[in-house]
Amino acid sequence: MQRNIPQAFPDEPIDEVLERMTDQSLQVIPVLERGTDRLLGSVTCQDVLGLVVLMHRIEGEKQRQTVEAPTT
């Protein structure tokens, strides 16, 4: 049984978690509570991809609002 399983913590930046997942070729990484190692959930590649899509949509909306903003 593998003991040194890569893990993430809820207060960690997502880019650090994604880098760890990429370095280890992981599709999923457990998210543990610091200090207790209680399993809180997991982050999957699909979660990260969804976040990237959402960020892209938000950035597009911000740009659209800037272009449509009335000048005074």
- Output the tens digit of pLDDT for each of the chain's 72 residues: 557 889 999 999 999 999 999 999 999 999 999 999 999 999 999 998 998 899 999 999 998 888 877 766
CATH number at residue 50: 3.90.1280
CA distances from 67 to 1, 8, 10, 27, 57 (A): 56, 39, 36, 39, 15
Indicate whether 32 belongs to any domain.
yes
pLDDT at 4: 85
* pLDDT at residue number 2: 57
Query: What pLDDT is stored for residue 22 in this prediction?
Result: 94
Task: For residue 1, give both structure tokens.
Answer: 């049984």
The total number of structural domains in the chain stands at: 1
* Residue at 1 is within a domain: no
- As beta bridge partners, residue 32 has 39
**What residue numbers bound the domain in which 40 lies?**
14-68
